A and B are shown apart, each in its own frame.
Chain A
Amino acid sequence: MQFMLLFSRQGKLRLQKWYTAQPDKLKKKITRELVTTILARKPKMCSFLEWKDMKIVYKRYASLYFCCAIEHDDNELLTLEIIHRYVELLDKYFGSVCELDIIFNFEKAYFMLDELLLGGEVQETSKKNVLKAIAAQDLLQEETDDTKSLLEELGLTG
């Protein structure tokens, strides 16, 4: 995967993750054009696009669009399921996720994405394992004495 973008129906970018090094200017250009292209498409149209040299897979969930650029030999339907899995994870974490959750807690959404995808490839397919890893990381925030024992309980200490 080359990048993932989350944007609103109004075309506001909410989250962006680039897996290939690109100059900022190009990123902005790609984002702007792609958002316009996707927003212009009708709801029932197919979720795949051949756009410039890229293969684009996108899906709308409530007020947010999730959009990925993938390699030419990547499977489109599998990419849709990766997006779906990400939404499921956010849903579970925030408890029925909405756009506001992602605006106000975007760093959490990034942490979640980093456990699901690494370097643009899926690293963990089990929902349970991703949430377990995130729960362990969130415990760092508390910095309490019993953090260590909780980590051990979750099987995440070295």
Chain B
Amino acid sequence: MMSDAVEKAFAAIPGLISGGLTTITAGSPIHVQGFPSFVHKVCSLTSKYEEEQVVKRELTLVKQRLAQPNITQAQQADCLVRLLFAHVLGYDVSFGYISAVKLAQQGTLAYKRMGYLACTLFLHENHELVLLLINTIQKDINSSNIMDVCMALTATCSLVNTEMIPAILPFVQEKLKHQKEIIRKKAVLCLFKFHRMAPNSVQHIHHSFKEALCDKDPGVMWSALHIYHDLIKHSPSEYQDITQSLVSILQQVVSRKLPADYEYHHVPAPWLQIKLLQVLALLGKDQQKISRVIHPVLAEVLQRSESNQNITFGVVYECILTITSISPDTRLLEYAAKCTGKFLRSKANNLRYLGIKALTKVIQVAPQHALDHQMTVIECLEDPDHTIRAKTLELLYRMCNSVNVKVICDKLLEYMEKDTEKSIKGDIANASLRGEDSVLLFAVQTYWELLQRKDVPNKLIQIGAW
């Protein structure tokens, strides 16, 4: 009874039923229940079998409706909503893909929007139907209606494949000069996608990347940084000359020179800070001179990140990674190690997890900092969360040296005795297998001791390989 009442209530919401309840056909009318009552019905069913019955019946109906010659755009959009719903539930709705393409091609305004959405969710860049969209995308990117441009750029990002890039690229490139930053931003992200898919296809427009990086809008500049991140990852030496500019941008961000709009929970543009830190980490790697240019701003980032917001920790974490990636500076490393301690001592599991990861990086450059945190780290082995235990093990192998090997091994064996989870024992076996220099000593000893035990899983015995 109750569910009947609810169903009626949902069916009565007028704005939600875009397709109308009855479709008049040339012959007999097809009776269609409103989308909300269909959804409600599906949600109220408890067995998978019943659900299948209802959804399949609905899909047959949708198929009939879509086949009608005089179907309106509103009805097509209504059908697509139903198909999308069934698609998320895992049903095959491929018969309707072509209708999505048609609506994106021929639809107007809101219906075009629905058509494009369905295309991006049903299809992917390698789907054969995307070829049918090239002309539509070209036309819409060039439209004088800004909404069409936005939709087309969004579709470009998920549907254009390598072969289509040359046909679309000039139109996207043109949009880099658009007066609205929302369009410029979308265009830059399309180029980023193209660059990821086929770097050669955008090789001749590197000057456009540079223009985007110098855009007066910080959002556009930030989007361009994604491209630079990739470029620098592949050939860091070619981009050394932008280090100074990036350092000054970061300096300006941390000293709150950006408009208040760019603050997130009172932290100045954290996403931009994090991106800049990632790029600087690549530029300063093994480059002492460049690293010296970067060092001061890293200290500033840490100094200014004192709040206990999650996002502040995100910035600090990234900064620690950058400090450990570029040529080392003793004072900065000490600072980084101190900050790492804050993560490790936190009660929040997320922060402890990142603390373990950060310390793994720190001790690779500055092993002396391992000792300060040794006991805290070992305690993490007792954590109920497998994710944290696995990361801790990885760190312990790295921390291990001839001085602390006994302590760590004792703890590990004691821990294995208690632990009933097979997976973690497997982890230990796997990690021992890596057999890196300092790890080797540790592994040999672990192995030796394990061999003397009776309850060791077979997997461990297999490490006799070395």
Contact = CB atoms under 8 A, between A and B. Distances in A.
Interface of A: 13-19, 21-22, 28, 41-42, 44-50, 73, 75-78, 80-81, 103-107, 110-111, 114, 118-119, 121-126, 128-129, 133, 136-137, 140-141, 143, 151, 156-158
Contact of A104 (B36, B158, B311): B36
B117 interface: yes
Given A46-B387, A75-B314, A119-B157, 20 more contacts: A42-B385, A46-B352, A47-B350, A48-B353, A76-B350, A77-B313, A77-B350, A80-B314, A104-B10, A104-B36, A106-B85, A107-B117, A110-B117, A118-B157, A137-B150, A140-B109, A140-B110, A140-B113, A156-B147, A158-B146
Contact of B274 (A75, A105, A129): A75
B318 A75 contact: yes
Contacts of A122: 271
A125 B124 contact: no
Contacts of B203: none
B158 A119 contact: yes
A123 B270 CA distance: 14
Interface string B182-193: 100110011011
Contacts of A110: 117, 121
B5 to A, nearest CB: 16
Interface in B1-25: 10, 16
Interface in B264-311: 264, 269-271, 274, 278, 310-311
A45 B390 CA distance: 13
A53 B381 CA distance: 23
Contacts of B39: 103-104
Given A46-B388, A104-B39, A110-B121, A80 B271 contact: no
Interface residues of B, number: 66
Contact of B261 (A21, A128, A158): A128
B390 to A, nearest CB: 7
Nearest to A31: B90
A137 B36 CA distance: 22
A78 B189 CA distance: 19
Contacts of A156: 146-147, 180, 182
Contacts of A18: 124
B262 interface: yes
B384 A42 contact: yes
22 contacts: A13-B88, A14-B88, A16-B88, A47-B350, A48-B354, A76-B314, A77-B311, A78-B314, A80-B314, A104-B39, A106-B85, A111-B117, A119-B190, A121-B192, A125-B262, A125-B271, A133-B150, A137-B110, A137-B147, A140-B110, A140-B147, A143-B109
A81 B264 contact: yes
Interface string B361-395: 00000000000000000000000110110100000
A119 B390 contact: no
A104 B16 contact: yes
A144 B80 CA distance: 24
Nearest to B114: A107
Nearest to B318: A75
A107 B36 CA distance: 13
Contact of A81 (B84, B85, B314, B349): B314
B43 interface: yes
B68 interface: no
Contact of A48 (B84, B310, B387): B387
A80 B12 CA distance: 38
Contacts of A118: 153-154, 157, 186, 189
A118 to B, nearest CB: 5
Contact of B84 (A22, A107, A126, A158): A107
Pick from A47, A77, A141, A157 the residue with the most CB of B within 10 Å: A77
Contacts of A48: 350, 353-354, 387
A125 B264 contact: yes
B126 interface: yes
